[in-house]
């Protein structure tokens, strides 16, 4: 079945620095979504990418969808303490309505 | 944005008893809802897809007789953990989507502890 892998599993970042988390699917995707889960909370939708090579920005967050629609990345610039949490990518294939979640990247920010 | 409400947020039950968790979409109709299980510091594992008016679709390895799902209306799905055991202790979370390709709205989750 479809598998979605995320790296790194943990990301320790100094406040003010940039980092990137990567997401790879074993199959071609119809779309990919990104979610953020704060400690003790539930996942909250960040963005959806649909087109091959698509790039979207949300303030300090930049999301990219690979040309082959099998991988994606999230780049955060000038990390702040409010960025703490786990970032999940979730891929959906063309057939069916399931979202398959990656393992998540747990982000810890050092002030 | 759309709101999905899940209740209860925490429950402690004795081993052998059953626990029902409710998931409601408050401002939209959801023909499909999804139930996930999340272990500490791990990802969301899809347990089953709840379909309004029909049987749920369970993922491989999930016991349908243990995790009973009922989706009796367009705004309510329930997950009943039957004959709970300590290994069933986990964070259970539901989600609903407005469309087959739409974003997922998650409930607040239910932390189940079986003692």
Q: Mean pLDDT per 10-residue run, chain B (115 residues)?
A: 90 98 94 93 93 91 95 93 97 92 94 97
Residue A31 in contact with partner chain B when CB distance is under 8 A: yes
Beta pairing, strands B10-13 & B110-114: parallel
Residue A32 in contact with partner chain B when CB distance is under 8 A: no
Averaged pLDDT for residues A67-84: 97
CA distance A33 to A49: 6
Query: What pLDDT, in 10s, does the model give residues A14-48?
Result: 999 999 999 999 999 999 999 999 999 999 999 99
- B107/A101 Cβ within 8 A: no
User: Looking up tokens 């780049």, which residue turns up?
Assistant: A75
Radius of gyration over every alpha carbon of chain A, rounded to an integer in angstroms: 13
Which pLDDT score, from 0 to 100, does residue B1 have? Answer: 64
Nearest CA distance, B1 vs chain A (angstrom):
10
Peptide bond into A8 cis (omega under 30): yes
């Amino acid at each position: 079945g479809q598998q979605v892998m995320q790296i790194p599993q943990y990301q320790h970042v100094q406040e003010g620095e940039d980092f990137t988390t990567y997401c790879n699917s074993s199959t071609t995707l119809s779309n990919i979504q990104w979610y953020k889960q704060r400690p003790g909370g539930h996942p909250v939708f960040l963005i959806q990418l649909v087109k091959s090579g698509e790039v979207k920005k949300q303030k300090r967050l930049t999301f990219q969808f690979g040309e082959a629609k099998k991988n994606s990345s999230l780049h955060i610039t000038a990390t702040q303490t409010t960025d703490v949490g786990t970032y999940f990518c979730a891929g959906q294939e063309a057939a069916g309505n399931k979202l398959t979640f990656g393992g998540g990247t747990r982000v810890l920010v050092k002030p | 944005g759309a709101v999905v409400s899940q209740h209860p947020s925490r429950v402690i039950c004795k081993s052998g008893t059953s626990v029902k968790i409710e998931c409601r979409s408050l401002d939209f109709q959801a023909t499909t809802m999804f139930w996930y299980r999340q272990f500490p510091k791990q990802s969301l594992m899809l347990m089953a897809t709840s379909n309004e008016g029909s049987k749920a679709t369970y993922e491989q390895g999930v016991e349908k007789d243990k995790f009973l799902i009922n989706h009796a209306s367009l705004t309510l799905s329930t997950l009943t953990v039957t004959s709970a055991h300590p290994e069933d202790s986990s964070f259970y979370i539901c989600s609903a989507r407005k469309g087959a390709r739409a974003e997922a709205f998650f409930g607040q989750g239910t932390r189940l502890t079986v003692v």
